[in-house]
Amino acid sequence: MPPVISPILTPGEKRIMDVLWRRGSGSVHEVQANLPHHTKLAYNTVLSMLRTMTDKGYVNYQKDGRAFTYFPAISEGEARNQAIKTLISRFFGESPRDFAQHLVQESEFDRGTLDVLKDEIMSAEKAKRNE
């Protein structure tokens, strides 16, 4: 049976994407060299992960002579949105409201954060009324 490909970035893929988002592009060697020191990976591991991420649509590449230059196919915000949508779908019955309620009830937000959230909700309500 073929392995299941995660619809969201794995932790290792996220570290590689962080390098590509920060740099804009890079060869396998450049990506490998720019990974955090505590998470260094072998060249072949980085290459394999970049190929998988290309198949998943997170990375594109351009052939540059014999080398390949990899670059992000999606923005960090798009990846974040995709991960959150997957989380909401898997654990909250596709209900953003249930997700938001869970965050408010289970997180230890300080008063300032709650005020910011309240302002965001009020702005969203106002925008919806003006549509």
- Render pLDDT for 18-40 as a digit per residue (tens, 0 to 9): 999 999 999 999 999 999 988 88
Assigned token pair, 74: 């999606």
Distance (Å, rounded) from C-alpha 99 to C-alpha 92?
6
120-121-127-131 Cα dihedral, nearest 10 degrees? 150
Query: Does position 7 have pLDDT exceeding 80, yes or no?
Result: no
Pick the CATH number of 1-91 from 1.10.10.10, 3.30.450.30, 1.10.1040.50, 3.90.1170.50: 1.10.10.10
pTM here is 0.81
The domain segmentation of the chain, as residue ranges, is 1-91, 94-131
pLDDT for the residue numbered 33:
95
pLDDT in tens, 97-122: 999 999 888 888 899 998 998 999 99
- Mean per-residue pLDDT over the chain, rounded: 91
Rounded mean pLDDT, 62-82:
94
Rounded (10°) angle between helices 11-23 and 43-55: 90
